């Protein structure tokens, strides 16, 4: 073969390779555009065919399905398809893209039939009339299976717009070694009320060098999630039944006074709560350098998994004059209004809220179960870390569902910081916040 011919042959081969590559690339693109069809998919944006095309197909959108739970969905989706003679299109998106994905799909008439997502997004989609009310299901036997507070977390404007899929809540940790050093009984710590907690904190402060109590004041969401326990348990609220702000009630002022006095008057907290995030105080406790802290189940699990060697106990978050609460964050499963297969969508909910199936999910994923009977199983009840959290299910309370909750929360936290930083009295701080919030909510 002459050089010239060889050159042509090479060019010819190059073109073929290029066409092949283009073809392969095109196939990949087309496959990608079609979405992740079939069970067990993970990570595509799922913009496939719109929900409810009239056929026996059902779109199930979830978020954050990692390796630890992928197999669970693969197996169960397949089982649901077999049992219900339906084709299930299962899609998982990452949390970063989740909210935008849901909104885009709803706005573009491509909503899934069923979606699993944070319950705090419910108001936005109810505003778009994008969700099916599930009062018929949640009002009957199906809804009766759930912890009441968790089910309430899926309620908005008097109707249920989802069923609680998973939850996380808070309990109260204390360091047994520190309590012993302070002369307190580590096995019977008497931490039932805020006043009990304050008394113990004062003793720890007097008798030891360890800061008695962790308060987080640096970050808006975290500060709120710590403080609202005090606020609610004093009988205060953030908004009334009409969604109007009511942060500066007498009870609210009492709660914030108690909260800020822990640092300013009693000096029982770590130094500078306004510098501390929730992570800071959690790490202090996990390192054995803090007497007490409100935290979530992973604090105990982290201590068990670490080389740190100290005893800790978990009790319920102390109660105030009007009750006890455990801040609850909830993932809900909702049916989207664009669906044309509403019955099949509800069947999917019934399928996944089967007790055994829900137990497997909670166990594998490490989330709080939302079905009471599952929480009563030995696996959770016999665990020193899990049992108090299961018990806390009865005190569950979610943040109010507001479309502009972040902005609302930031303003409330500013008031908390002003009081904690001794910039304003609790009354003045909350009055100013109330005024701004009234303007914000119109």
Please give the structure tokens belonging to residue 164. 């609680």
Q: How far is the CB of 24 from another protein (least distance, A)?
A: 31
CA atoms of 143 and 354, how far apart (whole Å): 12
Report if residue 99 touches another protein, rule: CB under 8 A. Answer: yes
Sole binder of another protein in the list 31, 68, 275, 322 (CB under 8 A): 275
Element (H, E) at 88: strand 87-93
Of 30-38, 178-186, 227-235, 418-426, which part binds another protein (CB under 8 A)? 418-426
Report if residue 11 touches another protein, rule: CB under 8 A. Answer: no
For another protein, the closer CB: 76 or 248:
248
Q: How far is the CB of 132 from another protein (least distance, A)?
A: 19
Residue 437 CB: number of other CB atoms within 10 A? 23
132: left (phi over 0), alpha (psi -120 to 50) or beta: beta
Owner of token pair 């299910």: 393
Q: How far is the CB of 156 from another protein (least distance, A)?
A: 15
Give which of 418, 352, 297 is closest to 58, Cα–Cα.
Answer: 352
Report if residue 205 touches another protein, rule: CB under 8 A. Answer: no
From residue 219, give the alpha-carbon distance in Å to each of 279, 282, 289, 425: 10, 14, 21, 20
Of 144-152, 164-172, 319-327, 398-406, which part binds another protein (CB under 8 A)? 398-406
Give which of 15, 72, 14, 17 is closest to 42, Cα–Cα.
Answer: 72
Q: How far is the CB of 347 from another protein (least distance, A)?
A: 30
Report if residue 260 touches another protein, rule: CB under 8 A. Answer: no
Report whether 247 contacts 418 (CB < 8 A).
Answer: no
Q: How far is the CB of 322 from another protein (least distance, A)?
A: 29
Sole binder of another protein in the list 107, 157, 240, 305 (CB under 8 A): 107
Site string for another protein, 283-312 (x = CB under 8 A): -x----x-----------------------
Of 42-50, 190-198, 265-273, 363-371, which part binds another protein (CB under 8 A)? 265-273
Report if residue 338 touches another protein, rule: CB under 8 A. Answer: no
Q: How far is the CB of 190 from another protein (least distance, A)?
A: 27
Give the CA angle between residues 206, 211, 213 to the nearest 5°: 105
3-class state of residue 333 by DSSP: strand
CA atoms of 44 and 92, how far apart (whole Å): 6
Q: Which residues ranging from 216 to 235 are in contact with another protein (CB under 8 A)?
A: 217-220
For another protein, the closer CB: 108 or 183:
108
For another protein, the closer CB: 274 or 387:
274
3-class state of residue 300 by DSSP: helix
Q: How far is the CB of 107 from another protein (least distance, A)?
A: 5
Give the number of residues written for the chain. 442
DSSP string, 363-393: HHHTPBP-BHHHHTSHHHHT-TTTHHHHHHG
Give, to the nearest 10 degrees, the angle between helix 67-84 and helix 355-365: 160
Owner of token pair 């009409």: 242
Report whether 288 contacts 308 (CB < 8 A).
Answer: yes
Q: Write the CB contacts of 168 (distance below 8 Å, at least 6 apart in sequence).
A: 296, 297, 328, 329, 367, 368
Element (H, E) at 87: strand 87-93
Of 142-150, 373-381, 384-392, 400-408, which part binds another protein (CB under 8 A)? 400-408
Q: Which residues ranging from 123 to 162 are in contact with another protein (CB under 8 A)?
A: 124, 127-128
Residues in contact with another protein, counted by CB under 8 A, come to a total of 31
For another protein, the closer CB: 218 or 295:
218
Report if residue 49 touches another protein, rule: CB under 8 A. Answer: no
Report if residue 404 touches another protein, rule: CB under 8 A. Answer: yes
Sole binder of another protein in the list 308, 403, 425, 441 (CB under 8 A): 403
Residues in contact with another protein by the rule CB under 8 A = 99, 103, 107, 121, 124, 127-128, 217-220, 270-276, 280, 284, 289, 403-404, 406-407, 410, 414, 417-418, 421, 423
């Amino acid at each position: 073969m002459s050089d010239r011919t060889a050159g042509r042959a090479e060019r010819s081969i190059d073109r073929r390779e290029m066409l092949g590559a283009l073809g392969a690339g095109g196939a990949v693109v087309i496959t990608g555009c079609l979405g992740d069809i079939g069970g067990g998919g993970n990570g595509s944006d799922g913009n496939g065919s719109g929900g409810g095309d009239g056929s026996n197909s059902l779109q199930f959108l979830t978020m954050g399905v990692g390796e630890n739970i992928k197999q669970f969905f693969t197996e169960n989706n397949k089982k649901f398809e077999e049992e219900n003679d339906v084709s299930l299109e299962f899609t998982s998106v990452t949390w970063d893209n989740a909210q935008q994905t849901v909104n885009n799909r709803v706005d573009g008439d491509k909503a899934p039939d069923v979606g699993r997502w944070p319950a705090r997004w419910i108001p936005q989609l109810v505003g778009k009339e994008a969700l099916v009310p599930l009062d018929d299901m949640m009002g009957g036997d199906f809804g009766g299976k759930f912890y009441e507070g968790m089910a309430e977390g899926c309620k908005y404007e008097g109707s249920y717009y989802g069923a609680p899929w998973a939850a996380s809540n808070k309990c109260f940790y204390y360091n047994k070694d520190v309590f012993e050093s302070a002369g307190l009984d580590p096995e019977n710590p008497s931490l039932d009320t805020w006043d009990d907690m304050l008394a113990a904190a004062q003793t720890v402060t007097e008798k030891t060098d360890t800061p008695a109590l962790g308060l987080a004041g640096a970050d808006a969401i975290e500060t709120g999630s710590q403080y609202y326990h005090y606020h609610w348990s004093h009988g205060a609220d953030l908004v009334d039944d009409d969604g109007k702000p009511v942060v500066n009630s007498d009870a609210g002022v009492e709660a914030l006074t108690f909260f800020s006095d822990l640092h300013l008057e009693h000096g029982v907290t770590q130094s500078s709560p306004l510098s501390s995030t929730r992570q800071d105080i959690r790490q202090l406790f996990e390192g054995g350098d803090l007497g007490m802290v409100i935290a979530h189940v992973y604090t105990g699990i982290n201590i068990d998994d670490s080389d740190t060697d100290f005893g800790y106990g978990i009790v319920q978050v102390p109660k105030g004059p009007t009750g006890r609460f455990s801040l609850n964050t909830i993932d809900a499963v909702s049916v989207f209004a664009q669906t044309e297969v509403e019955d099949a969508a509800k069947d999917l909910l019934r399928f996944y809220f089967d007790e055994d199936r829900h137990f497997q999910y909670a166990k594998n994923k490490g989330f709080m179960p939302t079905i009471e009977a599952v929480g009563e199983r030995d696996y959770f009840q016999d665990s020193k870390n899990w049992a108090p959290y299961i018990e806390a299910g009865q005190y569950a309370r979610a943040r109010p569902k507001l479309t502009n909750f972040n902005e609302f929360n930031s303003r409330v936290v500013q008031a908390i910081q002003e009081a904690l930083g001794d910039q304003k009295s609790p009354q003045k701080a909350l009055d100013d916040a109330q005024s701004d919030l009234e303007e914000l909510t119109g």
